[in-house]
Chains A and B, each alone.
Chain A
Amino acid sequence: MHDLLNSLAAAWQLILSGDSTLVAIVSLSLSISLTAVVLASVLGLPLGAALAVLRFPGQNAAIVVVNALMGLPPVVAGLFVYLLLSRSGPLGSLGLLFTPTAMVIAQVVLVTPIIAAIARQMLEDLWREYGELYILDGVGRVRTVCSLLWLGRFSLLTAALAGLGRAAAEVGAILIVGGNIAGVTRTMTTAIALETSRGDLGLALGLGIILLSLILAINATAQFVRNTSRRMAAI
């Protein structure tokens, strides 16, 4: 109990001090995770749509693989991206290892399956419900998918939030590809891992409380947007 109170105090002091290092760490965390979620949506939505609406051999296997990749351990994704971006790896000449870009790539690998899998499930349900109407109306496949995506936009927002949660909370992947370099690739989660290993549990939990509050704030905003647009749609 004493430790928890100390952590709360540590978190509060950190916020009040407006420490420039803390601000840099928080903004790096948010920009990496948000960029990763946007890119993962760009990749994951068409992938989910293709799996839901198209019919091709090996489709079931593809769906199983995408669903399974939702459980990909971050440290494995990190190792995979590390081997790709390493100087000895296939993309080594880009020199991206130990940069924020490498961290975004690793998180895109983690988040894309989540968004693709949820989008596929949602589109498949909608397709079963409304698909015949679109076919009767002679609407093309691409326009049908766009229309279904719009119909299911609130579920997709939940998918994006799930992806953001995974991106913002994970440490295994970005630790390996980012290197936790102070001032360059140190994020909230890698800083928490570092402070824990140093034994500064109060500071670690304090950082954790700040991270949780930020994720809570993002989710509250999303909920607000959802409610507002639902109300607008009802009018």
Chain B
Amino acid sequence: MTELVRSLAAFLLVLVASAAVAQEPFITVASTTSTEESGLFGYLLPAFTKETGIQVRVVAVGTGQALKIGERGDCDVVFVHDRTA
């Protein structure tokens, strides 16, 4: 758990400009399974949704795939922590 907390500091937050205008109020986040398993999203997302009224859909994959999804413009936010990827 402490390692996860430490790796939180290394999180890259990449905002990907999505050309299409979302029809429903939701954003897609590509992240890793371990980030989701850490419970971070379970803590952050309800607060975010409450504040903004925007639902968050989390796609939990490997860091490489998450970065690729972001690169191709298929998500709005990328949350990763593996430096080598």
Contact = CB atoms under 8 A, between A and B. Distances in A.
Interface of A: 86-89, 92-93, 95, 97-98, 179-182, 184, 197-198
A86 B18 CA distance: 12
A93 B57 contact: no
Interface of B: 18-20, 23, 28, 33, 37, 57-61, 72-74
A184 B72 contact: no
Contact of B74 (A86, A184, A197, A198): A86
B72 A95 contact: no
Contacts of B73: 86-88, 92
Contacts of B72: 86-89
Contacts of A93: 20
B47 to A, nearest CB: 17
A95 B58 CA distance: 16
Nearest to A198: B37
A179 B20 contact: no
A98 B37 contact: no
B66 to A, nearest CB: 11
A58 to B, nearest CB: 35
Contacts of A184: 57
Given A89-B72, A95-B20, A179-B59, 7 more contacts: A87-B74, A88-B72, A88-B74, A179-B57, A179-B61, A181-B58, A184-B57
Contact of A98 (B18, B19, B74): B74
B60 A180 contact: yes
B18 to A, nearest CB: 7
A93 B74 CA distance: 11
A87 B58 contact: no
8 contacts: A86-B72, A87-B73, A179-B57, A179-B59, A181-B59, A182-B58, A184-B57, A198-B37
